[in-house]
Amino acid sequence: MAAVFLQGCAGEIPVTRTVRFAVFGNTAPPSPFSGFTESLDTVIEEIESEKPAIVIHTGNAVYGGSDEEGIYENDVRRQCRIFFSSMRNFHSACYTIPGEKDLFNGSSEIYREYSGRGASFSFNYGSIHFTVVDTSGTEESFAESRQMDWLRKDLEGCRKSSTVFIIMNRPFNKGRRSRTLPVPDELHNEFMKYNVKYVISGEGKRYSLSVFDSIKYISAGCAGYIDMKENRRTSQYYLFTYANGELDVRPVRVDLRKRG
């Protein structure tokens, strides 16, 4: 079969038809003061055995908080050192995004210092574009205005990508005033304008799929890293396989009771 190309600014770009990537999150320990999530390295080993091209951690990696709660900077830094040291065990390209628990005194600055990336960022896998949006610091609005401005610029710059994935931490339909759409109209309209096909979030504990105007909104929530009862009924990671315009999602449960 002849190769298909996209016409880009720098010449013809071959269309990437397939990518496998793993998504996991919510691996924070039960306390900020001692130890860490004992099962983290086990789950990382399981994901590594799948040999995905990309690994994405969707947030809530550490147990943050504030000085007022008796949680101090050294507590958060200790956890970040452990978490990011474990993430270096991946041989795949690895990306992380902060969640609400990763904040210290309302800021993701310490987390970002260890991750080495900005609040929001994007990357390409061939002609496939991944846009990672930080929604950890928002309360009433889904995304802060500066994040929305950044998002528009990023999506404008990837118009020639063959497929666009949006990755964020914050779940959809959050709170009592949930809308018909899984995200505010403003954000959904931006996704429609720039031909986004998939939006993946990770803060919840369950998997769900909603389709609006051809956009697939996927909640890839993980849990059960600490609570063994919860481990029996939740997934610890998801393996996404995108091939020829179709996305397959495989939830994976790691039986951590047998690893203790």
Answering whether pTM is above 0.85, one says: yes
Superfamily of domain 18-258: Metallo-dependent phosphatases (3.60.21.10)
Cβ atoms of 241 and 43 within 8 Å: the answer is: no
Structure tokens at 233: 């009924």
**Res 260: pLDDT:** 54
Return the H-helix or E-strand segment holding 86. Answer: helix 73-87
The dihedral of CA 83, 204, 137, 93: what is its sign? positive
Domain positions in the chain:
18-258
Structure tokens at 178: 């949930």
**Res 144: pLDDT:** 65
pLDDT tens by residue, 136-153:
875 555 666 777 888 999
**Res 140: pLDDT:** 55
pLDDT value at 232 more than 50: yes
Cβ atoms of 105 and 67 within 8 Å: the answer is: yes
pLDDT bucket at 259, cuts 50 / 70 / 90:
low
Please state which of the ranges 66-75, 96-105, 111-120, 167-176 shows the lowest mean pLDDT.
Answer: 167-176
Q: Average per-residue pLDDT in the chain?
A: 88
